[in-house]
Amino acid sequence: MWKRIFPVLFSFGAVVICSVSCTSSKNFTEIHPVQDAHSYANTDSVVIRHLTLKLTVNFENRQLDGTATLHIENFNQARTLILDTKDLTIKKVTANGHTAKRSFKLMPARKVYLGQPLVIHLNPGDSLITITYHTAPEAGALQWLTPRQTAGKKHPFLFSQSQAILARTWVPCQDTPSIRFTYQAEIQTSPDLLALMSASNPTEKSPDGLYHFTMEQPIPSYLLALAVGDLEYRPFDARSGVYAEPEMIEKAAYEFTDTPRMMAAAEKLYGPYRWGRYDILVLPPSFPFGGMENPRLTFATPTVITGDRSLVSLIAHELAHSWSGNLVTNATWNDVWLNEGFTTYFELRIMEALYGREYAEMLEQIGYQDLKRVMGELGPDNPDTRLAIDVDDRNPDDGLSTIAYEKGRSFLKMLELAFGRPAFDDFLKKYFNTFAFHSMDTDHFTEYVREELVRHRRRVESRIHLREWIYEPGLPENCPVPDSPEFRKVDAQRAAFIHGRPAGELNVKGWTTHHWLHFLRALPKNLPRERLIDLDNTFTLSASPNSEIAFAWYQLVIPGHYKPALQHIRTFLLHVGRAKFVVPLYASLMKEKAYRAFARKVYEEARPGYHPVTYAAVDKLMSEKH
Ligand code: BES
Ligand code: ZN
């Protein structure tokens, strides 16, 4: 497979970064790095094998300051090492532990979101390159929180979010998922704070504020992660536990208590957990995502802590990435469905194993509804509705949608139904084992399915529409349509409500978060105000402490111009920075002429508390024509 070829000009002469073709399809485990359109790195000649980071965390000027030493393998006698950087100040480059400075140059950015290539002159025999640098206060991966933005209000907090192409804003590296390296780090912070990474972690504060980390398994750069704050640890069992601020630790430990059972279920399905420990870090509410699968240490939003354990599928999801993503990694961001689609399928299998079919069916139904909605919004001919997306000329975040998650999951479910669960599980287990610690691209995966699954069962081949599923837009006609008997009960209550039954007379006994979500999401947007008042008074929805329920309610009442919810929406937007909630809420508000001034005012107040990922998305939305 040939990826794009693009030239980079620089002071040491003109080079062409060439792509590398993959080896024959028969030799699946020897896939060479493909050229990734989102990295300047010359990985066809030089690769990083190990990284040693030494950084000081400076909260006063919001900087990480120190050195990154790259242990490189130069297998093509390359005269340069090209690294990805964005907004880094490079102070010095040295080689092989010597003090003599090496020449380097930061080249112009090809696209703003890619940052600038750092081109370092190499001598034959160079194996260690040390870069002395510091980050910018506005580094895209980092959020520096003031004490006020934390639960404890006394200490500052720092966390990173490297996926997809933000690792380069805090570490100069080959920022591509097609290559992997091990790492060690030394992080200096103040003694009243604990530092954690996607590596072996301390469970207690160190008296000198100096922390050491090791990641023994090779990982791609987007899994580099760091968090620093007033954190405490609580174990679940010998290999898993949770970190949170002291104010949250009790609630977090209660909420995620099923983690060891999830690990056992995941291992039973697809083989041993390969990363040693599995811990969870609960971040402050400005964390821009639901969760991030940083190896050994999932980062999680506190908005899934509801007190009733009803949103723990998030943990199943991030844990599942320990196989789909962290073990077998999408080779480029065009292949992101190999990470997210597989993980969503796997997540539901874990949930089914722990909580039964009915529960998993509800989750499946909700995912399918999201898929249908997004497919409708994008249109069935939209190239972004393909599994094999093309984000080469865009920021990878712009092409990522529910499609990768839910069309990906539906595709795997279709294969499960076509070949039977036992055969499909054997296939997946073998896939994870065969390609463990390697990257995978869509073409090779397709070939692997043909070889391993289809070849021996030719009769099924014509029924599965493999090529259409992976390379064509829209939803193939054999897409499995989930059914949830639990949700049919909800449908009956919703219909009764729409036809006038008072909220107080609805049968909502035993309803879980998911029943409520299903009820709210399918209510018509033009309900008369009295009906909204009736629902709110009966079930206190505007002030719901459950973020998912509150969000679904707000999405209903914003178009309905139900004013009593506004103050709650304001509080929510000032407190929560999770992009999945925040971006659609601002979008809904901006759609209503009457709410635009309100939205702008709230955003002005809330923006300084959001992570760069979140405010970049809201900035874009606010600057669009309304
Ligand atoms: N790896 C993703 C988050 C991500 C994807 C960050 C792409 C940056 C670019 C993570 O595993 C994820 O999917 N999180 C979801 C949770 C979920 C249960 C679907 C989220 O944050 O909402
Ligand atoms: Zn995911």
Angle, helices 357-378 vs 485-498, to 10°: value is 60
In Å, how far from its chain's centre is CA 400? 10
Closest-CA residue to 521 (of 549, 560, 495): 549
Going from the Cα of 205 to the center of ligand 2, the distance in angstroms, rounded, reads 30
405 is catalytic: yes
Ligand nearest to the CA of 287: 1
Residue pair 323/272 in contact (Cβ under 8 Å)? The answer is no
211 is catalytic: no
Active-site annotation holder among 211, 278, 405, 448: 405
> Is the CB of 552 within 6 Å of ligand 1?
no
> Is the CB of 617 within 6 Å of ligand 1?
no
Atom of ligand 1 nearest to the CA of 613: 8
Tokens coding 491: 């449908």
Ligand nearest to the CA of 316: 1
> Is the CB of 293 within 6 Å of ligand 1?
yes
Quote the pLDDT of residue 33.
53
Active-site annotation holder among 318, 340, 352, 416: 318
Look up the pTM and report it: 0.95
> Is the CB of 554 within 6 Å of ligand 1?
no
| Nearest CA residue ID for atom 14, ligand 1 | 291
Quote the pLDDT of residue 523.
98
Atom of ligand 1 nearest to the CA of 163: 8
Atom of ligand 1 nearest to the CA of 290: 21
* CATH architecture for the domain at 522-623: Alpha Horseshoe (1.25)
Closest-CA residue to 286 (of 156, 398, 404): 156
Atom of ligand 1 nearest to the CA of 344: 19
Give the pLDDT means over successive 10-residue stretches in the chain (626 positions).
27 29 39 78 98 99 98 97 98 98 98 98 97 98 97 98 98 98 98 98 98 98 99 98 98 98 99 98 98 99 98 99 98 98 99 98 98 98 98 96 98 98 98 98 98 92 96 98 98 98 98 98 96 98 98 97 97 98 98 98 98 96 91
Quote the pLDDT of residue 7.
27
The Cβ of residue 439 has, within 10 Å, a number of other Cβ atoms equal to 24
Determine the Cα–Cα distance for residues 471 and 6; give it in Å rounded to an integer: 24
**φ/ψ of residue 152, rounded to 5:** -80, -20
Going from the Cα of 346 to the center of ligand 2, the distance in angstroms, rounded, reads 11
Class in CATH terms, 329-471? mainly alpha
Class in CATH terms, 1-136+155-222? mainly beta
Going from the Cα of 555 to the center of ligand 2, the distance in angstroms, rounded, reads 24
Residues sharing a CB contact under 8 Å with residue 569, sequence separation 6 or more, in sequence order: 554, 558, 585, 589, 602
> Is the CB of 406 within 6 Å of ligand 1?
no
Going from the Cα of 321 to the center of ligand 1, the distance in angstroms, rounded, reads 10
Quote the pLDDT of residue 34.
67
Tokens coding 189: 């912070």
> Is the CB of 346 within 6 Å of ligand 1?
no
* CATH architecture for the domain at 231-322: 2-Layer Sandwich (3.30)
> Is the CB of 548 within 6 Å of ligand 1?
no
> Is the CB of 319 within 6 Å of ligand 1?
no
| Nearest CA residue ID for atom 21, ligand 1 | 290
Is residue 338 within a helix (H) or strand (E), and if so which, with residue range?
A: helix 336-355
* Overall residue count recorded for the chain in this entry: 626
**φ/ψ of residue 36, rounded to 5:** -105, 125
Determine the Cα–Cα distance for residues 231 and 235; give it in Å rounded to an integer: 13
Q: What Å distances lie between residue 144 and 55, 281, 608, CA to CA?
A: 15, 16, 10
Residue pair 173/144 in contact (Cβ under 8 Å)? The answer is no
What is the residue extent of each domain of the chain? 1-136+155-222, 231-322, 329-471, 522-623
Q: How far apart are the first and last CA of the chain?
A: 43
Sheet containing 210-219, strands listed edge to edge, beginning at the edge strand earlier in sequence: 89-95, 128-134, 63-74, 46-58, 181-188, 210-219
Please list the residues that pair with 71 across neighbouring strands.
Answer: 50, 128
